[in-house]
Chains A and B, each alone.
Chain A
Amino acid sequence: MSAAEKSRPKLAVWKFASCDGCQLTLLDCEDELLPLASTVEIAYFLEASSAIGPGPYDLSLVEGSITTPQDAERIRHVRRVSRRLVTIGACATAGGIQALRDFADVREFAAVVYARPDYIATLERSKPISAHVPVDFELRGCPIDKRQLLEVITAFLAGRRPVVPGHSVCVECKARGNICVLVAHGTPCLGPVTQAGCGALCPAFNRGCYGCFGPTETPNTRALNAQLRRLGMSDPDLVRVYRTFNATEEPFLQASEEAEGDA
């Protein structure tokens, strides 16, 4: 092993409660995968290989939310063996779609679904990683964006701040040259309160944004709700648009509760 080989930073990818979609984004980086593999040592990545590196790791990418007592324990281990810990995707940054159970009684669910609910050890809530351990950076999206993932890894390798702005999807929407579906079609769109990063994917296909990147740096959901109501959205529909992948992120939670309160 050469000296350079030895000093290659070690990357680990961890999975908690999630669908694997964000990890797959890493494998999806076809053109960049080879340069990536020669820049970092992918020491732990179950999705791609069964080799388990011993740690410690220079950069850990963590997918998924914490939903069980075992996972709450395991994430503390991951934190201990990681110099930098970056969470990837709405599950890890916000609790994910599975956090919808936070709005109901999880024991009741378990009783309905499982023959022996007493075998199920689960936490009351689906929480983001940052609720359990300190996190160095949160990369949003359901799933995350490939360009942004590479940018975050590259930035951590270079020791600089990643270029991941916290402004709205509208910025990217206009730069891309999309027509505004909200103004021109009357289609409900969460773009004005949703953080950019996807390149305004949904409006590019004449669909409203459904908020998968979570709230912007300064979301004014009350103002957007007023406009969405004018476009004919009912309060139950408003509650639903905010209760998806980032349902328990504070600004989206407040937005859905505001709609519910008025219902």
Chain B
Amino acid sequence: MDVVVLQSLEPLIEALTSSGYTVVGPRVEDGAIRMAEISSGADLPAGVGDVQKPGRYRLTSGDDGMVFGFAASPDSAKRYTQPPRQTLVRVRDEAIEEVEQEAPRVALLGLRACDLAAVAVQDRVFAGGRHPDPAYLRRREALFLVAVNCAVPGGTCFCVSMGTGPKAVAGFDLAITELASPHRFLVETGSERGGEIVALIPHHPATSVDIDAAEEVSRTAASRMGRQVDTDGIQEWLPAAHDSPRWADVASRCLSCTNCTMVCPTCFCSTVEDVTDLTGQVTERSERWDSCFTLDFSEVSGSHVRSSGLARYRQWLTHKFATWYDQFGTSGCVGCGRCITWCPTGIDVTEELACIR
């Protein structure tokens, strides 16, 4: 793996843009660090940090000039791998029209190790098995993934417990570690096209000082996890806790609002909607994000299989942390902490698991 050092990210953003990618990276919008289109290094959140707690997110500002001094953004790669709504088929006057789904060339700059692990989970869901989704494959192929190794984990992060971070080890085209004094970026190449981009920009080889400094960043981050989960034997004990009194307790705090599943980078559930137009000549079938927290999601023949909030919360937690293994061979959770931060009532999966155990 080639390891080089860049003095600035400006040439990287330019090279990605001139190679035909729309660059989507961290930028401050509406009081949060979103993943949004950026056109220059000046758009990056220099000196901005975040404080993440259950049900609470706030920005901080400082003058260290670091552009990646924060943890998981509310946005993940999911919006790009699995768009919130897509039209699947259109039937016009009884003739079926294939709807070509868009697969925009996007460079996602600033994905974290947990985000890469989540993309790998989605790859198994959508591209694995006997029926890979061709539209997913095309979208995925069109994404260029630039990871950033976390220096400052958030208060809700627990990637160390899930074995997914904080250092990106695979699944990226390029991986950046931001280093201080002097401010510079260590860049690892993870793919051929990653190497092609690096070849376009001014760089010099990393020295052992740079490499040691980068390792130190990841070591420090690993020691500063906001939270942890004891996953030992979880495949057995979590489903076995089906009758735990804790479920009723958490259900009393749960709004069934779906926010946890919407922000979760691995939650993939969707529903299909068929609509006709006024003339009755055009029918469209579309797929949109749904969640195991909605009542309709478990509707079978007009009745709801999981009609209580308790049953829905139990379904989400048990699937995510245990039965996902049976289905896909890994955990469904990558420890990014988003469901904790963005839960309006601050329900914390790590705390629930600890209590249920």
Q: Which residues of A are in contact with B by a Cβ distance under 8 Å?
A: 32, 35-36, 39, 150-151, 153-155, 157-158, 160, 163, 165-168, 170-171, 174-177, 179-180, 182-186, 189, 191-193, 206, 216-220, 222-224, 226-227
Interface centre among B31, B32, B255, B262 (most CB of A within 10 A): B255
In order of increasing CB-CB distance, the 4 nearest A-B pairs are A174-B262, A192-B257, A175-B84, A192-B255
Interface centre among A32, A155, A163, A170 (most CB of B within 10 A): A170
Q: Would A223 and B296 count as touching, CB distance under 8 A? A: no
Interface: B345 (CB within 8 A): yes
Q: Would B258 and A170 count as touching, CB distance under 8 A? A: yes
Interface: B58 (CB within 8 A): yes
B80-127 residues at the A interface, CB under 8 angstroms: 84-85
Q: Would B252 and A167 count as touching, CB distance under 8 A? A: no
Q: Would A157 and B280 count as touching, CB distance under 8 A? A: yes
* Smallest beta-carbon distance A202→chain B, Å: 13
CB contact under 8 A between A177 and B79, given known A167-B296, A217-B295: yes
Q: Would A157 and B278 count as touching, CB distance under 8 A? A: yes
CB contact under 8 A between A168 and B255, given known A174-B263, A227-B344: yes
Interface centre among B279, B280, B345 (most CB of A within 10 A): B345
Look across to chain B and name the residue whose beta carbon is closest to the beta carbon of A204: B30
Q: Would A223 and B255 count as touching, CB distance under 8 A? A: yes
Residues of A within 8 A of B256 (CB): 168, 216, 218, 220
- Indicate which residue in A39, A163, A206, A227 contacts B30 across the interface (CB closer than 8 Å): A206
Residues of B within 8 A of A150 (CB): 278
List 6 interface pairs A-B (beta carbons < 8 Å), by A numbering. A153-B278, A157-B280, A171-B290, A171-B294, A175-B84, A175-B262
Residues of B within 8 A of A184 (CB): 30-32, 57-58, 74
Interface: B316 (CB within 8 A): no
Residues of B within 8 A of A177 (CB): 75, 79, 84
| Bound CA span A171–B293, Å | 10
B288-340 residues at the A interface, CB under 8 angstroms: 288-291, 293-296, 309
Contact string, B267-293, partner A, CB cutoff 8 A, digits 1/0? 000000111111110000000111101
Interface: B246 (CB within 8 A): no
Q: Would B258 and A183 count as touching, CB distance under 8 A? A: no
Interface: B56 (CB within 8 A): yes
**How many residue pairs bridge A and B at CB < 8 Å?**
132
Q: Would B55 and A151 count as touching, CB distance under 8 A? A: no
CB contact under 8 A between A180 and B344, given known A166-B296, A175-B289: yes
Q: Would A171 and B291 count as touching, CB distance under 8 A? A: yes
Interface SS of A by simple majority: helix
Residues of B within 8 A of A223 (CB): 252-255, 345
* Smallest beta-carbon distance A206→chain B, Å: 6
| Bound CA span A184–B274, Å | 35
| Bound CA span A35–B279, Å | 7
* Smallest beta-carbon distance B53→chain A, Å: 10
Residues of B within 8 A of A158 (CB): 276, 280
Q: Would A183 and B279 count as touching, CB distance under 8 A? A: no
| Bound CA span A67–B235, Å | 58
Residues of A within 8 A of B84 (CB): 174-177
Interface: B139 (CB within 8 A): no
* Smallest beta-carbon distance A176→chain B, Å: 8
Residues of B within 8 A of A182 (CB): 344
CB contact under 8 A between A39 and B278, given known A183-B55, A227-B346: yes
Q: Would A168 and B257 count as touching, CB distance under 8 A? A: yes
Look across to chain A and name the residue whose beta carbon is closest to the beta carbon of B84: A175
Residues of A within 8 A of B144 (CB): none
